[in-house]
Structure 1
Amino acid sequence: MSGLEAAFLGLVQGLTEFLPISSSAHLRIIGELTGAGDPGAAFTAMIQIGTEAAVLLYFRRDVARILAAWWRALRGAYGTSWRARVGAPVDGSADHDALMAWFIVVGSLPIGLLGLAFQDQIESTLRNLWIIVFTLTAFGLLLGWADRVSPQRRTVKDLTVRDAVVFGLWQALALIPGVSRSGGTITGGRLMGYTREAAARYSFLLAMPAVFASGLFQLAKSLGEFGTPGKPALGATVIATLVAFVVGYVVIIAFLKIVSTYSYRPFVWYRLGLAAVVAVLLLTGALTADAGVGA
Protein backbone atom coordinates (compact mmCIF):
# COMPACT_ATOMS: atom_id res chain seq x y z
CA MET A 1 0.00 0.00 0.00
CA SER A 2 1.43 3.35 -1.07
CA GLY A 3 1.35 6.49 1.03
CA LEU A 4 -1.25 8.00 -1.32
CA GLU A 5 -3.49 4.95 -1.00
CA ALA A 6 -3.10 5.06 2.77
CA ALA A 7 -4.00 8.76 2.86
CA PHE A 8 -7.08 8.03 0.76
CA LEU A 9 -8.22 5.28 3.13
CA GLY A 10 -7.59 7.64 6.05
CA LEU A 11 -9.77 10.22 4.31
CA VAL A 12 -12.52 7.63 3.86
CA GLN A 13 -12.23 6.61 7.52
CA GLY A 14 -12.42 10.19 8.73
CA LEU A 15 -15.42 10.95 6.54
CA THR A 16 -17.38 7.81 7.43
CA GLU A 17 -16.51 6.87 11.04
CA PHE A 18 -18.94 9.27 12.69
CA LEU A 19 -21.67 9.12 10.09
CA PRO A 20 -24.14 6.19 10.36
CA ILE A 21 -22.89 4.61 7.14
CA SER A 22 -20.16 2.20 8.42
CA SER A 23 -16.51 3.11 7.98
CA SER A 24 -15.42 -0.55 8.08
CA ALA A 25 -17.76 -1.37 5.19
CA HIS A 26 -16.33 1.48 3.12
CA LEU A 27 -12.74 0.42 3.79
CA ARG A 28 -13.61 -3.14 2.83
CA ILE A 29 -15.42 -2.12 -0.37
CA ILE A 30 -12.81 0.40 -1.48
CA GLY A 31 -10.05 -2.12 -0.83
CA GLU A 32 -11.69 -4.44 -3.35
CA LEU A 33 -12.48 -1.73 -5.89
CA THR A 34 -8.89 -0.48 -5.94
CA GLY A 35 -7.43 -3.98 -6.11
CA ALA A 36 -5.65 -3.54 -2.80
CA GLY A 37 -7.87 -6.16 -1.20
CA ASP A 38 -9.14 -6.07 2.35
CA PRO A 39 -6.83 -3.83 4.41
CA GLY A 40 -7.54 -6.13 7.33
CA ALA A 41 -9.01 -5.80 10.80
CA ALA A 42 -5.70 -4.62 12.29
CA PHE A 43 -5.32 -1.72 9.81
CA THR A 44 -8.98 -0.80 10.30
CA ALA A 45 -8.64 -0.80 14.08
CA MET A 46 -5.48 1.32 13.94
CA ILE A 47 -6.94 4.10 11.81
CA GLN A 48 -10.05 4.08 13.99
CA ILE A 49 -7.71 5.18 16.78
CA GLY A 50 -7.07 8.29 14.69
CA THR A 51 -10.74 9.16 14.51
CA GLU A 52 -11.29 8.38 18.19
CA ALA A 53 -8.39 10.70 19.04
CA ALA A 54 -10.42 13.35 17.23
CA VAL A 55 -13.38 12.52 19.51
CA LEU A 56 -11.12 12.84 22.55
CA LEU A 57 -9.93 16.24 21.37
CA TYR A 58 -13.44 17.49 20.61
CA PHE A 59 -14.93 16.23 23.89
CA ARG A 60 -11.80 16.91 25.98
CA ARG A 61 -13.65 19.14 28.45
CA ASP A 62 -16.47 16.63 28.83
CA VAL A 63 -14.01 13.78 29.33
CA ALA A 64 -11.98 15.75 31.89
CA ARG A 65 -15.13 16.70 33.80
CA ILE A 66 -16.46 13.11 33.75
CA LEU A 67 -13.16 11.64 34.96
CA ALA A 68 -12.83 14.26 37.72
CA ALA A 69 -16.37 13.61 38.95
CA TRP A 70 -15.83 9.86 38.81
CA TRP A 71 -12.67 10.17 40.90
CA ARG A 72 -14.44 12.38 43.45
CA ALA A 73 -17.23 9.85 43.85
CA LEU A 74 -14.83 6.91 44.16
CA ARG A 75 -12.89 8.77 46.86
CA GLY A 76 -16.07 9.14 48.90
CA ALA A 77 -16.81 12.83 48.34
CA TYR A 78 -20.55 12.08 48.40
CA GLY A 79 -20.45 9.45 51.14
CA THR A 80 -19.07 5.98 51.71
CA SER A 81 -22.05 3.86 50.63
CA TRP A 82 -21.84 2.08 47.29
CA ARG A 83 -24.54 4.39 45.89
CA ALA A 84 -22.55 7.46 46.89
CA ARG A 85 -19.37 6.06 45.38
CA VAL A 86 -21.02 5.63 42.00
CA GLY A 87 -22.33 9.19 42.13
CA ALA A 88 -25.94 8.51 43.16
CA PRO A 89 -26.28 9.11 46.93
CA VAL A 90 -29.59 8.28 48.58
CA ASP A 91 -30.44 11.96 49.09
CA GLY A 92 -31.09 12.17 45.35
CA SER A 93 -28.30 14.65 44.56
CA ALA A 94 -26.88 12.59 41.71
CA ASP A 95 -23.64 13.64 40.04
CA HIS A 96 -24.51 13.05 36.39
CA ASP A 97 -20.88 13.24 35.30
CA ALA A 98 -19.83 10.50 37.74
CA LEU A 99 -22.78 8.40 36.63
CA MET A 100 -21.83 8.97 32.98
CA ALA A 101 -18.44 7.41 33.66
CA TRP A 102 -20.15 4.26 34.94
CA PHE A 103 -22.59 4.27 32.03
CA ILE A 104 -19.65 4.34 29.62
CA VAL A 105 -17.98 1.45 31.47
CA VAL A 106 -21.17 -0.62 31.52
CA GLY A 107 -21.97 0.20 27.89
CA SER A 108 -18.47 -0.86 26.80
CA LEU A 109 -18.74 -4.38 28.24
CA PRO A 110 -20.82 -6.00 25.45
CA ILE A 111 -18.50 -5.03 22.60
CA GLY A 112 -15.44 -6.04 24.61
CA LEU A 113 -16.78 -9.47 25.54
CA LEU A 114 -18.31 -10.24 22.14
CA GLY A 115 -15.27 -8.88 20.31
CA LEU A 116 -13.00 -11.32 22.13
CA ALA A 117 -15.45 -14.22 21.78
CA PHE A 118 -15.94 -13.81 18.02
CA GLN A 119 -12.56 -12.36 17.04
CA ASP A 120 -11.84 -14.94 14.32
CA GLN A 121 -15.22 -14.45 12.65
CA ILE A 122 -14.89 -10.66 12.83
CA GLU A 123 -11.54 -10.79 11.05
CA SER A 124 -12.66 -13.22 8.34
CA THR A 125 -16.21 -14.49 7.74
CA LEU A 126 -18.08 -11.33 8.71
CA ARG A 127 -16.07 -9.24 6.22
CA ASN A 128 -17.77 -11.00 3.28
CA LEU A 129 -19.21 -8.38 0.93
CA TRP A 130 -22.60 -10.07 0.74
CA ILE A 131 -22.88 -9.75 4.50
CA ILE A 132 -22.00 -6.07 4.14
CA VAL A 133 -24.72 -5.63 1.49
CA PHE A 134 -27.24 -7.15 3.91
CA THR A 135 -26.15 -5.10 6.94
CA LEU A 136 -26.03 -1.83 5.00
CA THR A 137 -29.59 -2.45 3.84
CA ALA A 138 -31.18 -3.90 6.97
CA PHE A 139 -29.67 -1.50 9.47
CA GLY A 140 -30.19 1.45 7.16
CA LEU A 141 -33.92 0.70 7.01
CA LEU A 142 -34.00 0.16 10.77
CA LEU A 143 -32.29 3.52 11.39
CA GLY A 144 -34.78 5.28 9.15
CA TRP A 145 -37.76 3.63 10.82
CA ALA A 146 -36.48 4.31 14.35
CA ASP A 147 -35.78 7.95 13.57
CA ARG A 148 -39.22 8.42 12.01
CA VAL A 149 -41.43 6.80 14.66
CA SER A 150 -39.53 7.45 17.91
CA PRO A 151 -40.17 10.53 20.08
CA GLN A 152 -37.37 12.93 21.01
CA ARG A 153 -37.86 13.50 24.72
CA ARG A 154 -34.84 12.05 26.54
CA THR A 155 -31.38 13.59 27.01
CA VAL A 156 -28.08 12.21 28.29
CA LYS A 157 -29.18 13.10 31.83
CA ASP A 158 -31.94 10.49 31.50
CA LEU A 159 -29.48 7.61 31.01
CA THR A 160 -29.89 4.54 33.23
CA VAL A 161 -27.86 1.37 33.67
CA ARG A 162 -30.40 -0.52 31.58
CA ASP A 163 -30.13 2.05 28.79
CA ALA A 164 -26.33 1.86 28.90
CA VAL A 165 -26.50 -1.93 28.44
CA VAL A 166 -28.91 -1.54 25.51
CA PHE A 167 -26.69 1.11 23.91
CA GLY A 168 -23.74 -1.24 24.44
CA LEU A 169 -25.49 -4.16 22.73
CA TRP A 170 -26.28 -1.99 19.74
CA GLN A 171 -22.65 -0.87 19.61
CA ALA A 172 -21.54 -4.51 19.71
CA LEU A 173 -23.49 -5.17 16.51
CA ALA A 174 -21.04 -2.81 14.80
CA LEU A 175 -18.43 -5.56 15.04
CA ILE A 176 -20.10 -6.67 11.80
CA PRO A 177 -18.98 -4.42 8.92
CA GLY A 178 -21.91 -2.54 7.44
CA VAL A 179 -23.80 -2.02 10.70
CA SER A 180 -21.94 1.17 11.73
CA ARG A 181 -20.90 1.93 15.29
CA SER A 182 -22.65 5.30 15.35
CA GLY A 183 -25.55 3.97 13.30
CA GLY A 184 -26.14 1.10 15.71
CA THR A 185 -25.98 3.14 18.90
CA ILE A 186 -27.99 6.01 17.43
CA THR A 187 -30.68 3.57 16.26
CA GLY A 188 -30.83 2.05 19.74
CA GLY A 189 -30.97 5.49 21.31
CA ARG A 190 -33.76 6.70 19.04
CA LEU A 191 -35.79 3.54 19.76
CA MET A 192 -35.49 4.38 23.48
CA GLY A 193 -36.73 7.92 22.87
CA TYR A 194 -33.45 9.84 23.07
CA THR A 195 -33.04 12.97 20.98
CA ARG A 196 -30.86 12.73 17.88
CA GLU A 197 -28.20 14.91 19.48
CA ALA A 198 -28.23 12.99 22.80
CA ALA A 199 -27.95 9.62 21.04
CA ALA A 200 -25.07 10.88 18.89
CA ARG A 201 -23.26 12.48 21.84
CA TYR A 202 -23.41 9.36 24.02
CA SER A 203 -22.47 7.25 20.98
CA PHE A 204 -19.22 9.22 20.58
CA LEU A 205 -18.33 8.97 24.28
CA LEU A 206 -19.22 5.27 24.43
CA ALA A 207 -17.03 4.42 21.45
CA MET A 208 -13.79 5.75 22.92
CA PRO A 209 -12.90 2.92 25.36
CA ALA A 210 -13.83 0.19 22.88
CA VAL A 211 -12.00 1.66 19.90
CA PHE A 212 -8.85 2.61 21.79
CA ALA A 213 -8.72 -0.83 23.44
CA SER A 214 -9.34 -2.60 20.12
CA GLY A 215 -6.69 -0.56 18.32
CA LEU A 216 -4.05 -1.14 20.99
CA PHE A 217 -4.90 -4.85 21.12
CA GLN A 218 -4.58 -5.18 17.35
CA LEU A 219 -1.35 -3.17 17.37
CA ALA A 220 0.21 -5.47 19.96
CA LYS A 221 -1.03 -8.52 18.09
CA SER A 222 -0.02 -7.46 14.58
CA LEU A 223 3.03 -5.24 15.08
CA GLY A 224 5.29 -7.81 13.44
CA GLU A 225 3.01 -8.15 10.41
CA PHE A 226 3.34 -4.59 9.10
CA GLY A 227 5.12 -4.58 5.77
CA THR A 228 4.82 -8.33 5.21
CA PRO A 229 3.16 -9.54 1.97
CA GLY A 230 -0.52 -8.63 1.91
CA LYS A 231 -0.25 -6.31 4.93
CA PRO A 232 -0.02 -2.49 4.90
CA ALA A 233 3.33 -1.13 6.06
CA LEU A 234 3.54 0.60 9.43
CA GLY A 235 4.38 3.92 7.75
CA ALA A 236 1.30 3.72 5.53
CA THR A 237 -0.84 2.91 8.56
CA VAL A 238 0.51 5.96 10.41
CA ILE A 239 -0.28 8.21 7.43
CA ALA A 240 -3.82 6.86 7.24
CA THR A 241 -4.28 7.34 10.99
CA LEU A 242 -3.15 10.99 10.91
CA VAL A 243 -5.40 11.82 7.96
CA ALA A 244 -8.33 10.10 9.67
CA PHE A 245 -7.72 12.21 12.78
CA VAL A 246 -7.81 15.56 10.98
CA VAL A 247 -10.77 14.75 8.75
CA GLY A 248 -12.65 13.07 11.59
CA TYR A 249 -12.43 16.18 13.78
CA VAL A 250 -14.02 18.31 11.07
CA VAL A 251 -16.77 15.73 10.51
CA ILE A 252 -17.66 15.62 14.24
CA ILE A 253 -18.28 19.37 14.26
CA ALA A 254 -20.45 19.19 11.15
CA PHE A 255 -22.35 16.05 12.17
CA LEU A 256 -23.44 17.32 15.58
CA LYS A 257 -24.78 20.48 13.93
CA ILE A 258 -26.62 18.45 11.29
CA VAL A 259 -28.35 16.01 13.67
CA SER A 260 -29.68 18.83 15.84
CA THR A 261 -31.67 20.09 12.85
CA TYR A 262 -32.23 17.35 10.28
CA SER A 263 -33.31 13.69 10.22
CA TYR A 264 -31.13 10.71 9.32
CA ARG A 265 -33.01 10.09 6.07
CA PRO A 266 -30.13 11.12 3.73
CA PHE A 267 -27.86 8.57 5.42
CA VAL A 268 -30.52 5.87 5.00
CA TRP A 269 -30.79 6.54 1.28
CA TYR A 270 -27.01 6.57 0.96
CA ARG A 271 -26.73 3.17 2.68
CA LEU A 272 -29.39 1.67 0.42
CA GLY A 273 -27.74 3.09 -2.69
CA LEU A 274 -24.30 1.81 -1.70
CA ALA A 275 -25.71 -1.65 -0.94
CA ALA A 276 -27.40 -1.74 -4.35
CA VAL A 277 -24.20 -0.75 -6.17
CA VAL A 278 -22.11 -3.36 -4.34
CA ALA A 279 -24.75 -6.05 -5.00
CA VAL A 280 -24.70 -5.28 -8.74
CA LEU A 281 -20.89 -5.39 -8.80
CA LEU A 282 -20.94 -8.75 -7.02
CA LEU A 283 -23.60 -10.22 -9.32
CA THR A 284 -21.72 -9.09 -12.44
CA GLY A 285 -18.42 -10.46 -11.16
CA ALA A 286 -16.75 -7.06 -10.90
CA LEU A 287 -16.19 -7.77 -7.21
CA THR A 288 -15.57 -11.01 -5.35
CA ALA A 289 -17.28 -11.36 -2.00
CA ASP A 290 -14.42 -13.07 -0.19
CA ALA A 291 -11.39 -11.68 -2.04
CA GLY A 292 -8.70 -10.49 0.32
CA VAL A 293 -10.55 -11.54 3.47
CA GLY A 294 -8.14 -12.55 6.17
CA ALA A 295 -5.17 -11.30 4.15
Structure 2
Amino acid sequence: MNFFQKLILALLQAILEWLPVSSEGFLMLTAINIFGESADAAFSLAIYFHLGTALAVLAKYWRTYWDALVKDHDILRLLIISTISTGIIGIPLYLLLGEVFTEVTGMAITLIIGITLIITATLLRFGKLNASDKLEMKDRNLLDEFALGACQGFAILPGISRSGTTVSFLLLRGFKREDAFKMSFIISLPAVIGAILFDIIFGSGNTTTVLGWDYFALMLIVAVVAYFMMSGLLKFAKKLSFDKICYILGGITIILVILFYIFS
Protein backbone atom coordinates (compact mmCIF):
# COMPACT_ATOMS: atom_id res chain seq x y z
CA MET A 1 0.00 0.00 0.00
CA ASN A 2 1.46 3.36 -1.01
CA PHE A 3 1.53 6.59 1.00
CA PHE A 4 -1.49 8.13 -0.77
CA GLN A 5 -3.64 5.09 0.02
CA LYS A 6 -2.54 5.16 3.66
CA LEU A 7 -3.30 8.89 3.76
CA ILE A 8 -6.87 8.22 2.65
CA LEU A 9 -7.26 5.66 5.43
CA ALA A 10 -5.72 8.08 7.93
CA LEU A 11 -8.19 10.82 6.99
CA LEU A 12 -11.08 8.36 7.25
CA GLN A 13 -9.92 7.54 10.77
CA ALA A 14 -9.62 11.22 11.71
CA ILE A 15 -13.21 11.89 10.63
CA LEU A 16 -15.07 8.69 11.42
CA GLU A 17 -13.68 8.13 14.91
CA TRP A 18 -15.97 10.85 16.26
CA LEU A 19 -19.05 9.43 14.54
CA PRO A 20 -20.77 6.24 15.77
CA VAL A 21 -20.26 4.32 12.52
CA SER A 22 -17.16 2.16 13.26
CA SER A 23 -14.05 3.78 11.81
CA GLU A 24 -12.30 0.40 12.06
CA GLY A 25 -14.96 -1.28 9.94
CA PHE A 26 -14.82 1.37 7.22
CA LEU A 27 -11.01 1.39 7.19
CA MET A 28 -10.99 -2.37 6.70
CA LEU A 29 -13.69 -2.24 4.01
CA THR A 30 -11.66 0.37 2.12
CA ALA A 31 -8.28 -1.32 2.58
CA ILE A 32 -9.54 -4.77 1.56
CA ASN A 33 -11.98 -3.97 -1.25
CA ILE A 34 -10.43 -0.86 -2.81
CA PHE A 35 -6.71 -1.10 -2.05
CA GLY A 36 -6.45 -4.90 -2.16
CA GLU A 37 -4.91 -5.29 1.30
CA SER A 38 -5.11 -8.59 3.16
CA ALA A 39 -7.59 -8.83 6.04
CA ASP A 40 -4.98 -9.23 8.79
CA ALA A 41 -2.85 -6.34 7.48
CA ALA A 42 -5.97 -4.14 7.19
CA PHE A 43 -6.89 -5.06 10.77
CA SER A 44 -3.46 -3.99 12.03
CA LEU A 45 -3.66 -0.73 10.08
CA ALA A 46 -7.07 0.00 11.62
CA ILE A 47 -5.67 -0.57 15.12
CA TYR A 48 -2.53 1.52 14.61
CA PHE A 49 -4.34 4.44 12.99
CA HIS A 50 -6.38 4.82 16.18
CA LEU A 51 -3.24 6.21 17.81
CA GLY A 52 -3.68 9.47 15.90
CA THR A 53 -7.21 10.07 17.22
CA ALA A 54 -6.08 8.96 20.68
CA LEU A 55 -3.45 11.72 20.58
CA ALA A 56 -6.21 14.19 19.71
CA VAL A 57 -8.15 13.00 22.77
CA LEU A 58 -5.03 13.47 24.87
CA ALA A 59 -4.60 17.01 23.56
CA LYS A 60 -8.23 17.88 24.33
CA TYR A 61 -8.47 16.21 27.75
CA TRP A 62 -4.87 16.41 28.93
CA ARG A 63 -5.86 18.12 32.17
CA THR A 64 -8.34 15.35 32.94
CA TYR A 65 -5.57 12.75 32.56
CA TRP A 66 -3.13 14.88 34.56
CA ASP A 67 -5.64 15.34 37.37
CA ALA A 68 -6.29 11.58 37.35
CA LEU A 69 -2.59 10.96 37.94
CA VAL A 70 -2.03 13.54 40.66
CA LYS A 71 -5.30 14.08 42.55
CA ASP A 72 -8.54 12.88 40.93
CA HIS A 73 -8.62 9.24 42.04
CA ASP A 74 -12.24 8.98 40.91
CA ILE A 75 -11.22 9.42 37.25
CA LEU A 76 -8.15 7.24 37.78
CA ARG A 77 -10.43 4.44 38.99
CA LEU A 78 -12.57 4.85 35.86
CA LEU A 79 -9.51 4.55 33.61
CA ILE A 80 -8.10 1.52 35.47
CA ILE A 81 -11.34 -0.46 35.79
CA SER A 82 -12.50 0.23 32.24
CA THR A 83 -9.09 -0.62 30.76
CA ILE A 84 -8.94 -3.92 32.67
CA SER A 85 -12.40 -4.97 31.48
CA THR A 86 -11.59 -3.85 27.93
CA GLY A 87 -8.59 -6.18 28.00
CA ILE A 88 -10.62 -9.07 29.44
CA ILE A 89 -13.03 -8.88 26.49
CA GLY A 90 -10.79 -7.43 23.79
CA ILE A 91 -7.69 -9.63 24.05
CA PRO A 92 -9.46 -12.99 23.44
CA LEU A 93 -11.41 -11.41 20.57
CA TYR A 94 -8.17 -10.00 19.12
CA LEU A 95 -6.54 -13.44 19.21
CA LEU A 96 -9.63 -15.03 17.65
CA LEU A 97 -9.72 -12.43 14.87
CA GLY A 98 -6.04 -13.03 14.17
CA GLU A 99 -6.87 -16.67 13.44
CA VAL A 100 -9.99 -15.85 11.45
CA PHE A 101 -8.33 -13.26 9.21
CA THR A 102 -5.68 -15.73 8.08
CA GLU A 103 -8.29 -18.34 7.12
CA VAL A 104 -11.11 -16.45 5.40
CA THR A 105 -11.33 -14.34 2.25
CA GLY A 106 -11.66 -10.58 2.03
CA MET A 107 -15.25 -10.97 0.84
CA ALA A 108 -16.12 -13.02 3.91
CA ILE A 109 -14.64 -10.30 6.13
CA THR A 110 -16.65 -7.72 4.19
CA LEU A 111 -19.83 -9.71 4.88
CA ILE A 112 -18.97 -9.90 8.59
CA ILE A 113 -18.45 -6.12 8.70
CA GLY A 114 -21.81 -5.60 7.00
CA ILE A 115 -23.49 -7.72 9.68
CA THR A 116 -21.72 -5.96 12.55
CA LEU A 117 -22.71 -2.57 11.10
CA ILE A 118 -26.33 -3.74 11.40
CA ILE A 119 -25.63 -4.67 15.03
CA THR A 120 -24.11 -1.23 15.65
CA ALA A 121 -27.18 0.41 14.12
CA THR A 122 -29.47 -1.60 16.41
CA LEU A 123 -27.45 -0.62 19.49
CA LEU A 124 -27.55 3.05 18.48
CA ARG A 125 -31.29 2.98 17.89
CA PHE A 126 -32.02 1.15 21.14
CA GLY A 127 -29.83 3.57 23.11
CA LYS A 128 -31.45 6.61 21.51
CA LEU A 129 -35.00 5.43 22.08
CA ASN A 130 -34.47 4.41 25.70
CA ALA A 131 -32.19 7.18 27.00
CA SER A 132 -33.37 9.03 30.13
CA ASP A 133 -30.59 11.69 30.27
CA LYS A 134 -30.60 12.18 34.04
CA LEU A 135 -27.32 10.86 35.52
CA GLU A 136 -24.05 12.80 35.65
CA MET A 137 -20.51 11.45 35.36
CA LYS A 138 -20.04 11.44 39.14
CA ASP A 139 -23.08 9.17 39.58
CA ARG A 140 -21.42 6.12 38.03
CA ASN A 141 -20.43 3.06 40.06
CA LEU A 142 -17.86 0.26 39.72
CA LEU A 143 -20.26 -1.92 37.72
CA ASP A 144 -20.83 0.96 35.27
CA GLU A 145 -17.07 1.34 34.77
CA PHE A 146 -16.51 -2.38 34.26
CA ALA A 147 -19.45 -2.70 31.84
CA LEU A 148 -18.30 0.41 29.95
CA GLY A 149 -14.85 -1.12 29.43
CA ALA A 150 -16.42 -4.41 28.34
CA CYS A 151 -18.46 -2.58 25.71
CA GLN A 152 -15.24 -0.98 24.49
CA GLY A 153 -13.61 -4.42 24.33
CA PHE A 154 -16.29 -5.73 21.98
CA ALA A 155 -15.50 -2.84 19.62
CA ILE A 156 -12.35 -4.69 18.53
CA LEU A 157 -14.77 -6.44 16.16
CA PRO A 158 -14.69 -4.62 12.79
CA GLY A 159 -18.01 -2.91 12.22
CA ILE A 160 -18.80 -2.51 15.92
CA SER A 161 -18.46 1.19 16.72
CA ARG A 162 -16.43 1.90 19.86
CA SER A 163 -18.01 5.29 20.46
CA GLY A 164 -21.44 4.06 19.39
CA THR A 165 -21.35 1.04 21.70
CA THR A 166 -19.98 2.82 24.76
CA VAL A 167 -22.18 5.92 24.38
CA SER A 168 -25.26 3.76 23.79
CA PHE A 169 -24.57 1.81 26.99
CA LEU A 170 -24.17 5.02 28.99
CA LEU A 171 -27.35 6.52 27.52
CA LEU A 172 -29.24 3.34 28.40
CA ARG A 173 -27.93 3.64 31.94
CA GLY A 174 -29.39 7.15 32.03
CA PHE A 175 -26.28 9.33 31.74
CA LYS A 176 -26.50 12.74 30.13
CA ARG A 177 -25.30 12.81 26.52
CA GLU A 178 -22.39 15.21 27.17
CA ASP A 179 -21.09 13.11 30.08
CA ALA A 180 -21.53 9.92 28.05
CA PHE A 181 -19.39 11.28 25.21
CA LYS A 182 -16.70 12.51 27.63
CA MET A 183 -16.42 9.16 29.42
CA SER A 184 -16.33 7.34 26.08
CA PHE A 185 -13.49 9.55 24.88
CA ILE A 186 -11.26 9.51 27.95
CA ILE A 187 -11.29 5.72 28.33
CA SER A 188 -10.15 5.30 24.72
CA LEU A 189 -6.55 6.49 25.21
CA PRO A 190 -5.25 3.72 27.52
CA ALA A 191 -7.16 1.12 25.50
CA VAL A 192 -5.57 2.23 22.20
CA ILE A 193 -2.08 2.32 23.70
CA GLY A 194 -2.62 -1.12 25.20
CA ALA A 195 -3.93 -2.54 21.90
CA ILE A 196 -0.91 -1.25 19.97
CA LEU A 197 1.58 -2.57 22.52
CA PHE A 198 -0.18 -5.93 22.50
CA ASP A 199 -0.10 -6.04 18.69
CA ILE A 200 3.62 -5.20 18.66
CA ILE A 201 4.40 -8.00 21.12
CA PHE A 202 1.88 -10.67 20.13
CA GLY A 203 0.67 -9.47 16.71
CA SER A 204 0.42 -11.23 13.40
CA GLY A 205 3.70 -9.94 12.00
CA ASN A 206 2.35 -6.81 10.30
CA THR A 207 4.15 -4.41 12.64
CA THR A 208 7.00 -3.70 10.25
CA THR A 209 4.51 -3.10 7.44
CA VAL A 210 2.46 -0.66 9.51
CA LEU A 211 5.32 1.11 11.27
CA GLY A 212 7.05 2.32 8.14
CA TRP A 213 8.81 5.65 7.72
CA ASP A 214 5.50 7.28 6.85
CA TYR A 215 3.55 6.03 9.87
CA PHE A 216 4.53 8.81 12.26
CA ALA A 217 3.82 11.51 9.68
CA LEU A 218 0.39 9.99 9.09
CA MET A 219 -0.31 9.85 12.84
CA LEU A 220 0.53 13.52 13.15
CA ILE A 221 -1.88 14.31 10.31
CA VAL A 222 -4.61 12.22 11.94
CA ALA A 223 -4.05 13.88 15.32
CA VAL A 224 -4.19 17.44 13.96
CA VAL A 225 -7.20 16.86 11.69
CA ALA A 226 -9.06 14.91 14.37
CA TYR A 227 -8.43 17.52 17.06
CA PHE A 228 -9.83 20.40 15.01
CA MET A 229 -12.79 18.36 13.76
CA MET A 230 -13.73 16.80 17.09
CA SER A 231 -16.13 19.43 18.44
CA GLY A 232 -17.78 20.14 15.09
CA LEU A 233 -18.34 16.49 14.28
CA LEU A 234 -19.79 15.84 17.74
CA LYS A 235 -22.38 18.55 17.13
CA PHE A 236 -22.98 17.05 13.70
CA ALA A 237 -23.42 13.62 15.26
CA LYS A 238 -26.21 14.88 17.51
CA LYS A 239 -28.29 16.00 14.52
CA LEU A 240 -28.16 12.91 12.32
CA SER A 241 -29.67 9.46 12.79
CA PHE A 242 -26.52 7.35 12.56
CA ASP A 243 -28.49 4.23 13.30
CA LYS A 244 -30.22 4.67 9.92
CA ILE A 245 -26.86 5.34 8.22
CA CYS A 246 -25.38 2.15 9.67
CA TYR A 247 -28.49 0.17 8.66
CA ILE A 248 -28.21 1.47 5.09
CA LEU A 249 -24.45 0.97 4.76
CA GLY A 250 -24.55 -2.43 6.43
CA GLY A 251 -27.41 -3.52 4.18
CA ILE A 252 -25.65 -2.29 1.04
CA THR A 253 -22.45 -4.11 2.06
CA ILE A 254 -24.29 -7.39 2.60
CA ILE A 255 -26.22 -7.08 -0.68
CA LEU A 256 -23.03 -6.36 -2.66
CA VAL A 257 -21.28 -9.40 -1.18
CA ILE A 258 -24.27 -11.61 -2.04
CA LEU A 259 -24.35 -10.26 -5.60
CA PHE A 260 -20.62 -10.85 -5.91
CA TYR A 261 -20.98 -14.51 -4.97
CA ILE A 262 -23.99 -14.95 -7.26
CA PHE A 263 -22.34 -13.50 -10.36
CA SER A 264 -18.69 -14.46 -9.78
**Match of residue 160 from structure 1:** 141
**Match of residue 9 from structure 2:** 9
Question: Alpha carbon RMSD of aligned pairs, Å?
Answer: 2.4
User: Is the radius of gyration larger for structure 1 or structure 2?
Assistant: 1
Q: 1:133 aligns with which of 85, 110, 114?
A: 114
Q: Report if the CA contact (8 A) 1:140-1:272 is conserved.
A: yes
Specify whether residues 240 and 270 from structure 1 end up closer, same or farther in structure 2 by C-alpha distance, changes over 3 A only: farther
Cα-to-partner distance string for 1:44-78 (whole Å, 9 max, x where unaligned): 22211111011000111221122211xxxxxxxxx
User: Is 1:253 aligned with 2:228?
Assistant: no
Q: Which structure has the highest helix share of the two?
A: 2
User: What CA distance in whole angstroms lies between the structure 2 residues aligned with 1:239 and 1:216?
Assistant: 19
Unaligned 5+ segments in structure 1 are 70-96, 288-295
Matching residue's letter, 2:230 = I
User: What CA distance in whole angstroms lies between the structure 2 residues aligned with 1:224 and 1:130?
Assistant: 25
User: What CA distance in whole angstroms lies between the structure 2 residues aligned with 1:53 and 1:184?
Assistant: 21
The 5-angstrom pairing of residues 237-252 of structure 1 reads 237-252=215-230
User: What CA distance in whole angstroms lies between the structure 2 residues aligned with 1:223 and 1:193?
Assistant: 40
User: What CA distance in whole angstroms lies between the structure 1 residues aligned with 2:70 and 2:234?
Assistant: 25
**Match of residue 45 from structure 2:** 43
TM-score, normalised relative to structure 1: 0.78
User: What CA distance in whole angstroms lies between the structure 1 residues aligned with 2:141 and 2:219?
Assistant: 34
The range that moved more, 12-21 or 118-127, is 118-127
User: What CA distance in whole angstroms lies between the structure 1 residues aligned with 2:217 and 2:225?
Assistant: 12
**Match of residue 100 from structure 1:** 75
Percent identity (aligned):
24
Q: 2:175 aligns with which of 177, 194, 197?
A: 194
User: What CA distance in whole angstroms lies between the structure 1 residues aligned with 2:207 and 2:82?
Assistant: 32
User: What CA distance in whole angstroms lies between the structure 2 residues aligned with 1:159 and 1:232?
Assistant: 38
Specify whether residues 118 and 179 from structure 1 end up closer, same or farther in structure 2 by C-alpha distance, changes over 3 A only: closer
User: What CA distance in whole angstroms lies between the structure 2 residues aligned with 1:113 and 1:208?
Assistant: 17
Q: Report if the CA contact (8 A) 1:3-1:239 is conserved.
A: no
User: What CA distance in whole angstroms lies between the structure 2 residues aligned with 1:164 and 1:203?
Assistant: 11
User: What CA distance in whole angstroms lies between the structure 1 residues aligned with 2:249 and 2:122?
Assistant: 13
Superposed displacement of residue 125, structure 1: 2.7
Superposed displacement of residue 158, structure 1: 1.0
**Match of residue 105 from structure 2:** none
User: What CA distance in whole angstroms lies between the structure 2 residues aligned with 1:284 and 1:225?
Assistant: 31
Superposed displacement of residue 238, structure 1: 3.0
User: Is 1:205 aligned with 2:207?
Assistant: no
Matching residue's letter, 2:87 = G
The 5-angstrom pairing of residues 170-185 of structure 1 reads 170-185=151-166
User: What CA distance in whole angstroms lies between the structure 2 residues aligned with 1:160 and 1:255?
Assistant: 29
Unaligned 5+ segments in structure 2 are 102-107
Specify whether residues 272 and 57 from structure 1 end up closer, same or farther in structure 2 by C-alpha distance, changes over 3 A only: same
Superposed displacement of residue 131, structure 1: 1.9
TM-score, normalised relative to structure 2: 0.87
Cα-to-partner distance string for 1:82-107 (whole Å, 9 max, x where unaligned): xxxxxxxxxxxxxxx32111012111
**Match of residue 93 from structure 2:** 118
The range that moved more, 157-166 or 140-149, is 140-149
User: What CA distance in whole angstroms lies between the structure 2 residues aligned with 1:251 and 1:112?
Assistant: 29
The 5-angstrom pairing of residues 261-280 of structure 1 reads 262=238, 265-280=240-255
Matching residue's letter, 1:65 = D
Cα-to-partner distance string for 1:117-162 (whole Å, 9 max, x where unaligned): 2333223537822221111112212211211222000111111111
SS at structure 2 position matched to 1:268 = helix
User: What CA distance in whole angstroms lies between the structure 1 residues aligned with 2:136 and 2:201?
Assistant: 38
SS at structure 2 position matched to 1:275 = helix
Matching residue's letter, 1:54 = A
Superposed displacement of residue 221, structure 1: 4.7
Superposed displacement of residue 40, structure 1: 2.9
Matching residue's letter, 1:24 = E
User: What CA distance in whole angstroms lies between the structure 2 residues aligned with 1:152 and 1:48?
Assistant: 29
Superposed displacement of residue 239, structure 1: 3.8
